[in-house]
Structure 1
Amino acid sequence: MRKSFLLTLLGVGLNILPNFAQVKEASLNIGIGPKVKMLLSKMTLEEKVGQMTNLTLDAISKTDAAGKIVEPHQIDEDKLKEKILKYHVGSFQNVAGHTYDRKHWFEIISAMQRVALQDRLKIPALYGIDAIHGVTYTIGSTLFPQEIGMAATFNPKLVQQIGGISAYETRASYIPWNFSPVLDVAKFQTWPRIYETFGEDPFLVKTMGAALIKGYQGNNVGDKYHVTSTMKHFLGYGAPLSGKDRTPAWIPDRYMREYFLPPFIEAVKAGSRTVMINSSEINGVPVHSSKYLLTDVLRKELKFDGIVISDWMDVRYLYTRHHVAASEKEAVGLAVNAGIDMCIVPFDYTFYDYLIQLVHEGKVPMSRINEAVARILQVKYELGLFERPIGSPEDYTKFGSAEFTAVNHQAAAEAITLLKNNNNILPLKKSMKVLVTGPAANTMRSLDGGWSYTWQGDQDDKYAADKNTILEAIQQKIGKNNVAYEKGATFDSLQNVNATLEAAQKADAVILCLGETSYTENVGNIDDLNLPAAQIELAQQLAKTGKPIILVMAEGRPRIITPAESLSSATIMAYFSGNEGGNALADILFGDVNPSGKLPFTYPRNANALVNYYRKNLENGNSDDAHGYNPLYEFGFGLSYTPFRYSNLRLDKANLKDDESVNISVDVTNNGARTGKESVLLFISDLYASIAPDTKRLRGFDKIELKAGETRTVTFKITAKDLAFINDLSKPVTEPGEFKVQIGDQTKNFNYQTTAPFKPAIDGKL
C-alpha cells in the first residue's frame, strides 16, 4: 500500500476520532450495561426506531436519472445525511453491485461514521456483510472453500483458523459484523443453499459452526481483528418440502428439536451475538412472525440475548408473499411483537414510519422497542464502535497474504474428497499426457461458487483472474506441453465434441471436470437433480475412447452423476473449494497431497432416492423392497492414497449408568507407505427406543495424521446425554437399553442403565 494512500486514509480517520474521544471520556469505567441504560434513557422513540432500521448500501449511493447505481460507486452525501440525521438509521449492509477494494470500503465506512457523529447522540453506525467463506466483497481477500467444503475437512481446528483469518480480513475492510455462519442442517439435496451449510448431520453442523464462530469472535469480539458472527437462518431453513429456496417446510416440533435446533444451541453457547431469521414458513407460520420460535424458544429456552435481525425484505413479505398480514403496517407489528429487533427493510423508511405509528397506537409496546434497542446498543458497545468506529489501514498488513493463502490451500486440500480409485490409478504420473475437459475445467465460478465477489459469483473469472482454474493449476503442475484442453460442453450443451474426442485419443488419461456454475438462493433452484444430459453424454462419448477417466465434480450439491460415474476410473468431489481449489486438486491428482476429505452429505444414486444417512430402519428396504437405502456414496465416506486399518475397538465399561461416562477407544494404523490424514468418525445406534430410532448417528469425530506404519489410539468420551433423542413431548430423553458403537469396520455394544423411573415417550394411544 502506498504511503500517500495511508496518510490520506488516516487523515479521514483523524477527522472522526476527536468526537469519539468525547463519547469515550464521558463513559470511562462504566460497564456496558449501565452505558446502554444511560444512552437508552436519552433516546426519543424516533431515534430508537432508527436503530432498529437496517438499509442496504444502495439506499445511500449515487444513482443516475434512471435510478441505476453510478459506477464507480460513490456515496451520496445528501442521502446519507437524510438516513442518519433525519431518520437516525443505525445500520447498513450489503454492496451496491459488486466488490470493492479496501480503500473504497474505508471511504464508505468513514463517511457513515462521520455523519453518525453529527447526529444528536453520536451513536456509531453498524455495518454488516455476507463474508461467508472469506470477505466476499473485498478485492484481494482470501476466499476459502464454502462451508460444505469446510465440513468435508472434519477439522474444527482448521475451521476455527479460517474464521480467525476471515474476521481479520473483514475488519481490514473496516466492517465489524459478519452474516455467517450458516447453521442450517441441509436435509434436501436439491436445495440450492447446501454448499453454504456444513452438511446434513446435526453433530457435524453444530461442531463446525461453533468452531467458525470462535474463529470470528476470538476472545474479544471488540478487538480490531475480530467480528461478531450471525447465526443463520433460525430455524428449519434447510428442509423445504419442495427442495427449493424460500418455500414452505413442514416440521413437527419434536423433529425440529432433534435435527435443526442443536446447531443454534451450540452457537449460542459459543457466544454468537446476532441471529438472522429463516425467510420461509414452517407448518404455515412464517418464522418472522413466530413468537413461539423467536421468543419462547430462542430467547427463553436458548437464553439468547443478542440481536435478532430479519432477512432481506422478509418483514414486508409477511404481507406481500405469505399473506399472514393484511397490510405492510400489520406485518411490521407482527414481526416486532414476535421478536424481530432489527429489520433489513432494505431501501426505504416504511418500517420506520409504520413502527412509530404502531407504538403511538399501542399495538407495539414501548417495552418491546426498548428491549430491541438495548440489544443493538449492547452489541455496538461490545464491538468497540464507540471507541474505534473504523480501523486503521496500518493494522492489517497480512490482508491477502501468503500466510493466509497457505491456510486456504490446506483447507481446500483437506476438503477435496476421493470417492473412487480403481486399481490405484491415482495419483497420476507427472510425465503423463492428459486431456482436461468439461465445463468446470477452466472457470473460477465452479471453484468459488456464489457469494464470491458478487452475490451470484458471476464475475469470479474477472476478480479472481490471478488465481488458477483447474486447467491452469494442472498446466502449472506438469507443464503446458503435457496438457491438452477442450471444453467439450457447456453446463447444459455439448461443444466441440469431435475435437475433444480427438484430443482424448492422444492423451494417457482424461480429467473430466463436470458440475455446476456459481449460484445462490432462488437463482439456484432446479427442477431436476440429475446432472444436465449434455455433461453425462460427454462422459459417455469420452468413455468410448477407452482412455481412463478421472471424474472431478465441482458443484455445490450432489447432482446425480450415476451414469457418468459408472464409467470413471476415479471420482473426486471438489465441492466449491475456493480460490486455492484448483491448486489443491492438482496436488491431489499428481500425488503431492494425500486426500483426506470425507463426504458431509449422502451422495444419492438416483434422483428420487434422497435419504439422509441417519434414516429410519423402515427406509433400509427388505426382501420385498429393492428400493431401500442404496446411495452412490454414504455420508462420511472418503478414500486416501494410503490404507488405514481400524482395530481393537474397546469400551471401558459394558454398562453405562447415570452420571457416568464411557470411554470408547480404537487403534488406527497407517498400513501404507506414505503419510496420511484420517477422520475417525464415531457412530452410535440406539437399537430399540419408544420412538423409531435412527439407524445410526454421528456422535464424535477426530482428525489425525499418521506416518507410514504408525498406530495411534483415538478415544471418545460419551455420556447418557450424548445418547439422547427428543421424545413425543419434545423433551430430550435417554432410554435404558442396548446401544451399538461403530468406528470404521469395528463394532461393539453396551447397555445404558438408569436408576430413575422410566416413562415411555409414547403412551401407546393414537
Structure 2
Amino acid sequence: MHSGGHTRRMLLKGVSAGALLSALSPAAARIRMTGSARIEALIAGMSLAEKAGQLSIYSDPVRAYGAVVNPGVVTQGLTEIKARIARGEMVGLFNGVGVALGRALQKVAVEQSRTGIPLIFAADVIHGCRTIFPIPLGEAASFDLDLAERTARAAALEASALGVHWTFAPMVDVARDERWGRVAEGAGEDPWLGEMFARARVRGFQGTDLRDPTRVLACPKHFAAYGAVQGGMEYNTADISDTTLWQVHLPPFKAAFGAGALSTMASFNDIAGVPSTANHHLLTEILRDEWGFKGVVVSDYTSEQEVVAHGYAADERDAVVKSLTAGCDISMQSGLYYKHLPELVQSGQVPIAVVDRAVRRVLEVKQALGLFENPYRSLDPARQVNDIRRPETVALAREAGRKSVVLLRNEGNLLPLAKTATIALIGPAISDRADLPGPWAVFPDVASHVTIEEGFRAAMGSHGALHVARGCDYEAPIEGGIASAVAAAMACDVVVLVAGESAGMSGEAQARVDIGIPPAQLALAEAIAATGKPLVVVLRHGRALALTGAVRNAPAILASWFLGSETGHALADLVFGDAAPQGRLPVSFPQSSGQEPFYYNHRSTGRPQTSDEKDYKARYREVTNAPLYPFGHGLTYAAVVYGETMAKGPLVRDGRMIVWATVANTGNRPCHEVAQLYLHARVASVTQPVRVLRGIRHLDLAPGQVVTVSFDVTEADLAYVHQDLRSFADPGLFDVWIAPSAQGGTSATFAMTD
C-alpha cells in the first residue's frame, strides 16, 4: 500500500517528516529509513508524551527480579504493563529476564505503539548472570585483565541469551574506604588498576560490534566519585578537591568511554554540594564537551527524584528541569520525566530542543544495538537453552575463582594440605548454597552452585576424611555450635575455618562502622585456636577486613572474597595444591577499622612517620601507619626473591626508559608471581602519592627459575593533574620500584629531563 514511490513523492512534495511517519506503518518506516534520517523522522513525529516515554525506564514488574536488589518496586499486572508500552510510556524495562515474555512485550512496542520504537531491556549483570563469577573486587585481585574480559564476555553471552541488551556494569568507582559496602562491586583503591579493569570489562561486554546479539551495552557507573562518600556511608556526600576528582575518580570512567562504552549512570552522591544527577559541570561540560561522550546518561534508581531531598531542587518538577538540562537523559523508576516533562515543555521551562537532544541520544544507542533492524535480537528461544551455563562458562567460573584468591599468610608452609589428611571444615558458610553468589547477583542458578563442603569432598575423594560443623551463624551464636565445632577439630589433623561476611553484609546499603569479623565468629575462632590444632582461615568477604585475635594470628590465611558458582571447587584447587595462588590484594587490609579510609597511594604529610616515632607525627596512638597486609600483597606456595630495581635513565620527555629487576623462585614448587611497577615523584607542584602503580607482569616460574622482568616507563606514567587540571609530568627526580606489593622492593632513582 505504501510503496517506495509513494514515499518519495511525499518527500518531493515537501511533506514533513512527522507527516511521513504518520503516513507509514511503524514497520514500513523502519524498513525505508536508516541512520540519522530515521531518528530525525521519529523525533519529528513523536508527541511530547512519547518523547518523555523514551526518557523513562522502570523495573520490570512482570518478570520481577528487581525487588531482590531495589527498594520500593511497584508490582503491576501484565495487562497494565502492556498498555503502558503500547502508549509509548517507557524506553524499556530493567531487571527482568526471560525470552518468551520479552518477545511478547517487544511485539507490543513494535506493532502496537504508534511509533514502533523497540524497547531496550536492561539488567544489573554485575558479576555473572546465571553462572556467577567472583565479585568484581575479588576478580580484581587476580590482577588479570584477560580474565576480566573473558568473564564479562561470558556474562554478556548468558545475559543476552535471556533477553538483556544493556547491563548496568561495570562499576568503576575507586573506593578507598572499606566501610563502604559497594567496594565489592569495583576494582579497589587504585585508579590505574581501575582504568585497566574498566577497559577490559567494557571490551568483554560490548565486543567490537554492539549489533552482535550475544553482546550487551556496558554502563560504567557511578558517575562520579561515588567511591569518595564521606565515612564510607552509602548515599553520602563526596567533598573532594578538583585535583582528586580528576586524578583519582575520573580516569577509570574516561578509560571505559575510550573503550567504547555508550552509556553511564549518574551517582547518588553530590560533589561539593551539587548532586551528580543534576550536575551540569559533570554531565555536560566534562562528559560531553571535554570528553566528547556520545552516549546516554541514566539516573541511578530514583536519583533524579532525590535531588529534592538533597535540597538542590524545590520539588519534583524542579528536579526534572535541573536533571534533564544538566545532561541526565533517562529517568530510572521514579516516572518523573514522564509525569512532568510534557507540561514543563508547554510552559517553556524546558526547551523542546533539550528534550529532543536526549531522545536523539537514546534512539542512537538503540540504533547502535541494531534494535530497529532486529527488535527481537537477544530474544531467541534457542539461545535461552543453549547459551546458559555452558561447560566452558562453568569452567571459566572455576578458573576465575581460584585466580581471585589471595594467600595472605602461610607460616610453616601449612598450605597446601594433603588430600589424605583428616580435616575439620568449620564455619557458617561451608554448606550454605544460597549465600554463595555474594552481593549483587540478581539471576543466579543457585541449585547448580558448588558449596565449600562439596568442593572439598570432591577433591579429597576417598583419600582422607572430612568432618564438618557450622559452629555459629554469620552474626549470631547457635546452641551447641561451638561445642560441636571443637569436637570436630579435636578429631582431626588440621582445621579449615571459613569466616567473614555473609553476602548480605556487603554491597549496596551495607556500610559498616566495624569491618572486622562478627563477634559470634570470633568466639568460634578463639575456641578452635585453643584446641592447638593447625588452623587455616579462609575469609569470605566483600571488602578488606580488619582482622583480630585468632583469625589474625592463624598460621595460614586465604582471602577468598565471594567466589560465585564454583566456590567449592575453586577453593579446593588451591587448598590442596592443584593450582598455585595468583591473587594480589586490590585493597589494603588495615590493622584497625579506625584507620579507614586507608589506601597505599596516599600523599606524604609534612610530618610523616618514617620509623617507630610516635610523638608529633601523622599517626594514631594505637597503631602504626603500616597496613596489616598492603595493596598488591599475595604469597605463593614457593619463596620468591626480587633483585634490586635497575633504571637506565635519564628519561627524555616524549621518550621511554627501561627499568628491570630479577625475580627468582627459590622454592621447590612452581608458582605464579605478579610483579608490580611503582613510581614516585620526588618534587611536584601538587604533592604526589608516596607510590603509584603503573604496570603489572604475570610470571609463571618453575622451581629455581630466575627471570629478568622489565617495564617501559614514559612521560605519561609520570604525569599528574596540576592545579589548572591539565595533566603532564614535571622534570625532576623519580623513584621506581619493581616489587611484589606496594610496600616491597628496592628503589632506583632516575631523572626526567626536557
- TM-score, normalized by length of structure 2? 0.89
CA displacement 1:29-86 (0-9 Å, x = unmatched): x4x3333233323323222111011111127979xxxxx999xx99844312331222
- Output the CA distance in 2 between the equivalents of 1:318 and 1:494: 42
Counterpart of 2:165, as a letter, is: P
1:593 counterpart (575, 579, 602): 579
> Does the aligned pair in 2 maintain the 1:278–1:287 contact within 8 Å?
yes
Counterpart residue number, 2:726: 731
Residue of structure 2 in register with 1:693 after alignment? 688
What pairs with 1:682-761 in structure 2 (closer than 5 Å)?
A: 682-744=677-739, 745-754=745-754
> 2:271 and 2:327 mapped to 1: Cα distance?
16
Aligned pair 1:25/2:25, yes or no? no
Q: Which residue does 1:5 correspond to in 2?
A: none
Aligned partner of 2:136 in structure 1 is: 147
- Residue equivalent to 1:764: none
Q: Paired residue for 2:640, among 638, 644, 653?
A: 644
Structure-to-structure mapping, 1:253-652, within 5 angstroms: 253-319=242-308, 321-346=309-334, 349-390=335-376, 391-395=379-383, 397-453=386-442, 463-479=445-461, 482-495=465-478, 496-519=481-504, 521-610=507-596, 611-618=598-605, 620-622=608-610, 623=613, 624=615, 625=617, 627-647=623-643, 649-651=645-647
Unaligned runs of 5+ in 1: 1-18, 63-67, 136-140, 455-459, 755-766
Shift of 1:701: 1.1
Q: Alpha carbons of 1:69 and 1:46: their partners in 2 closer, same or farther (altered >3 Å)?
A: closer
Task: Tell me if the contact between 1:543 and 1:567 (Cα under 8 Å) persists in the aligned partners.
Answer: no
**Equivalent of 2:55 in 48, 52, 55:** 52
Moved more, 300-309 or 726-735: 726-735
What are the residue-to-residue correspondences of 1:76-91 with 2, within 5 Å?
A: 76-91=77-92
Distance (Å, rounded) in 2 between the aligned partners of 1:561 and 1:615: 22
Distance 1:75 1:704 in 2: 54
Q: For residue 596 of structure 1, what is the amino acid of its counterpart?
A: Q
Measure the CA separation in 1 of the matches of 2:392 and 2:82: 41
- Secondary structure at the residue paired with 1:552? strand
Judge conservation of contact 2:61–2:75 (CA < 8 Å) in 1: no
C-alpha separation between the residues in 2 aligned to 1:570 and 1:399?
A: 37
Question: Matched residues in 2 for 1:541 and 1:22: separation?
Answer: 74
What is the CA distance between 1:20 and its match in structure 2? 8.2
Shift of 1:114: 3.1
1:571 Cα deviation from its structure 2 partner: 0.3
**How big is each residue's C-alpha offset from its partner over 1:148-169, in whole Å with a ceiling of 9 and x where there is no partner?**
0110111111111111111111
Structure 1 distance, partners of 2:369, 2:707, is: 43
1:227 is aligned, of 207, 216, 219, to 216
- Partner amino acid for 1:486? A
Confirm whether residue 114 of structure 1 aligns to residue 101 of structure 2: no
How far, CA to CA, are the matches of 1:753 and 1:402 in structure 2?
54
Cα distance in 2 for residues equivalent to 1:160 and 1:746: 32
Aligned position for 1:214 = 203
Where does structure 2 lack aligned partners over 5 or more consecutive residues? Answer: 1-24, 66-70, 740-744
User: Do the aligned residues in 2 keep the contact of 1:445 with 1:517 (CA within 8 Å)?
Assistant: no
Q: For residues 392 and 167 of structure 1, do their structure 2 counterparts lie closer, same or farther at Cα, with a shift above 3 Å needed?
A: same
**Helix, strand or coil at the partner of 1:584:** helix
Q: Deviations over 1:496-536 (max 9, x none)?
A: 21121121111111111111111355541223222222211
Counterparts of residues 155-194 of structure 1 (less than 5 Å): 155-194=144-183
- Aligned-partner Cα distance in 2 for 1:201–1:696: 11
Distance in 2, matches of 1:77 and 1:494, equals: 44
Which letter maps to 2:489?
A: A
Moved more, 193-202 or 487-496: 487-496
Find the counterpart in structure 1 of residue 651 from structure 2: 656
CA contact (8 A) 1:88 1:119 kept: no
Q: Following the alignment from structure 2 to structure 1, what is the Cα–Cα distance between the partners of residues 435 and 452?
A: 9
State the SS of the aligned residue for 1:608. helix
Distance 1:221 1:375, change over 3 A: same
Contact 2:428 2:470 in 1 (8 A): yes
Deviates more, 1:465-474 or 1:285-294: 465-474
Aligned residue type for 2:604: N
In the aligned structure 2, how far is the partner of 1:556 from the partner of 1:122?
A: 43
How far did residue 393 of structure 1 move? 2.9
Q: In structure 1, what is the equivalent of residue 16 of structure 2?
A: none
Per the alignment, do residues 612 and 212 of structure 1 end up closer, same or farther by CA in structure 2, a change over 3 Å counting?
same
Q: Distance in 2 between matches of 1:613 and 1:309?
A: 33
Give the CA deviation at 1:648.
6.1
What residue number does 1:757 align with? none
Q: Is the 8 A contact 1:288 1:340 kept in 2?
A: yes
**Aligned-CA RMSD value:** 2.4
Deviates more, 1:393-402 or 1:177-186: 393-402
Check conservation: 2:102, 2:163, Cα contact below 8 A.
Answer: no
Superposition deviation, residue 468 in structure 1: 1.6
- Identity among equivalent positions (%) equals 31
Residue in 2 that maps onto 1:252: 241
Q: Residue 144 of structure 1: SS of its match in structure 2?
A: coil
Structure-2 separation of matches of 1:730 and 1:570: 46
Contact 1:620 1:629 in 2 (8 A): no
Residue of structure 2 equivalent to 1:125: 119
Shift of 1:325: 1.4
Q: Is residue 144–residue 408 contact of structure 1 (8 Å, CA) maintained in 2? A: yes
Q: CA deviation at 1:489?
A: 1.4
Number of equivalenced pairs: 703
SS at match of 2:307: helix
The one-letter amino acid paired with 1:516 is E
Aligned partners of 2:608 and 2:388: how far apart in 1? 50
SS in 2 for 1:387: coil
Once the two structures are overlaid, the 10-residue window that deviates more, 501-510 or 413-422, is 501-510
Distance, in Å, in 2 between the alignment partners of 1:523 and 1:235 is 18
**Shift of the alpha carbon at 1:476?**
1.9
Secondary structure of the corresponding residue to residue 311 of structure 1: coil
Alpha carbons 1:58, 1:69 under 8 Å: kept: no
For 2:55, the aligned partner's letter is M
1:47 partner letter: E
User: How does the TM-score come out when normalised to structure 1?
Assistant: 0.88
Whole-Å Cα distance in 2 between the matches of residues 197 and 445 of structure 1?
Answer: 23
Deviation track 1:206-264 (CA, whole Å, cap 9, x = no partner) reads 10111010011001011111111001000000111121111111111111111000001
Structure 1 residues 153-205: Cα deviation after superposition (integer angstroms, max 9, x where no partner): 11111111111111111110111111100000011110001110111100111
Give, as a single letter, the amino acid of the residue that structure 1 aligns with 2:304.
V
In the aligned structure 2, how far is the partner of 1:662 from the partner of 1:289? 44
Query: Contact 1:192/1:557 (CA < 8 Å) preserved in 2?
Result: yes
Is this contact kept in 2: 1:23–1:386, CA < 8 A? Answer: no
